[in-house]
Amino acid sequence: MNEEQELNTTTETAYTPQSSYNPPVTETRSVEIVNKIREQLLKVVFGQKHVVDQVIATFLAGGHVLLEGKPGLGKTHMVVALAHTFGGAFRRIQFTPDLMPSDVTGFTLFDMKSQTFQVRRGPVFTSLLLADEINRAPAKTQAALLEVMQERQVTIDGETMKLDPPFMTLATQNPIEQEGTYPLPEAQLDRFLMKVIIDYPNHADEAEVVRQVTGSQGLKAEAVEQICSPQEIIDAQKEAAAIRCVDEVVAYAVNITRATRSAQGISLGAGTRGAISLVRVAKSYALMQGRDFVIPDDIKAASLPVLRHRVQLAPELAISGQNVDDAITAIVASVEAPRQ
């Protein structure tokens, strides 16, 4: 099965807990903000509810997203709209084979007038950074993002500068065109909290996109309303981090992660960062549902986007026609969940 076929076989739905347990819901300011941001994004992004929910969950968790999908499915459109919902800055970098690390982070320049060196900040100094087709740049340029994504800081000629929160990197890669690309190494893939698959919308949603774009008003990402300020996003991230996760649910996330290392047909399992990411995303899902605690279904809902880029199939399993999502789904089903 090639990568295009693998993409088309992946189906996900917007996050909804599958458990029959209905915990009480608390409508805090953060929950209200998240719901309104989702509403605004769905006005300009049609047929991608699961993508919108996963991107919002990653943003709440303070992580970064790797978006994989064919061209023309609204990836840039969604990122621009998200930036407008909280009044944040947006920058885009088109990754190419000749892109240099200084084009990403910035550089120092000697100013003849003042006879001093001036720092020219690169596009990473923003709120939302779209790294378009990241796998088209060589490893040296890809690595320029590592410090930014992990440490939230940039070092230029020995001077370290912190990035203002909130900050999120959304990197895209095309799963079809492999010629002239540089696959992301495992170390950098692991820096992404989620790998989100964007597939074609259904007929009704695609027809609506065509109607909106070709209409008199067009379909402009800038038309979404600003819901909150950057500080309120930071507050929501703090609230998500404070969501309670009992030891049994933490152990469940660890058990799933460890199971990827011993499962038959898996050549590379997820590391400890995978378990950490499961809990972080599960906390975001809990907040999005108005809960102040994590349930096992939150861990299950996070498993595919959190683990799919951290797990590699053995050649014999890949030849059989299975893909990574099939393997992860089977692993999650084999791990006993704690009783609620």
Q: Which pLDDT tens digit goes with each residue over 157-185?
A: 888 889 999 999 999 887 655 656 777 87
Q: Which fold has domain 243-339?
A: Helicase, Ruva Protein; domain 3 (1.10.8)
Q: Which pLDDT tens digit goes with each residue over 37-86?
A: 999 998 888 888 999 999 999 999 999 999 988 777 778 888 889 999 99
Give the Cα separation of 277 and 91 in Å (integer). Answer: 26
Domain ranges of the chain: 25-231, 243-339
pTM summary value: 0.87
pLDDT score of 186: 79
Give the Cα separation of 31 and 120 in Å (integer). Answer: 38
Q: Which SS3 state, helix, strand or coil, does residue 294 take?
A: coil
Domain 25-231 has CATH 3.40.50.300: yes
* Strand extents, DSSP E, the chain: 65-69, 90-94, 106-111, 116-121, 128-132, 153-156, 159-162, 168-173, 194-198, 266-268, 312-313
